[in-house]
Amino acid sequence: MAQVPVAEGIFTWPSDDPQLIASRCSACGMVMFPAQDSCARCASTEIEEHLLPRRGRLWAWTTQDFQPPSPPYAGATGKDFVPFAIGYVELPDEVKVEARLTESDPEKLVQAAEMELVVVPFGTDDDGNEVVTFAFRPVAT
């Protein structure tokens, strides 16, 4: 089964060490994800592409135990829905990114734990391709 990213331009793919594709304001240094063409701080339109570091710390998290309304949710629905966790991972001196987490057990999710970017399957498109998205996994210690 072929793998396709959920959208183009949000992470480098295919890659053994995928990175999120952000933008950085040339005027004030603001880092934003996903990339946008103007700055949320100073409104400058002088924006450059900026790849994010792959490791950071878990800043906030919760679980998604019920299926989000579909559409727009494109993962498995109904009895096939698999609960997951979501959190913000703070990438030092760059930005906090909201992402799916590979670990969904509240007992195993720890505030400020070190996390690493991975790409994971989460659904199937109309052509039978496996759709992949970015996520963070706890770094084994």
Among 3, 38, 41, 139, binds another protein (CB under 8 A): 41
Looking only at residues 52 through 71 of this chain, which bind another protein when binding is defined by CB under 8 A? 59-66, 68-69, 71
Q: Does 32 bind Zn ion (CB under 5 A)?
A: no
Q: Which residues pair with 21 in a beta bridge?
A: 51
Q: Does 21 bind another protein (CB under 8 A)?
A: no
Contact by Cβ (8 Å): 8, 134: no
The three-state DSSP-derived secondary structure of 1-54 is CCEEECCCCCECCCCCCCCEEEEEECCCCCEECCCCCCCCCCCCCCEEEEECCC
Residues that bind another protein (CB under 8 A): 6-7, 10, 22, 30-34, 40-41, 59-66, 68-69, 71-75, 84-88, 90, 93-98, 100, 106, 111, 122-123, 133
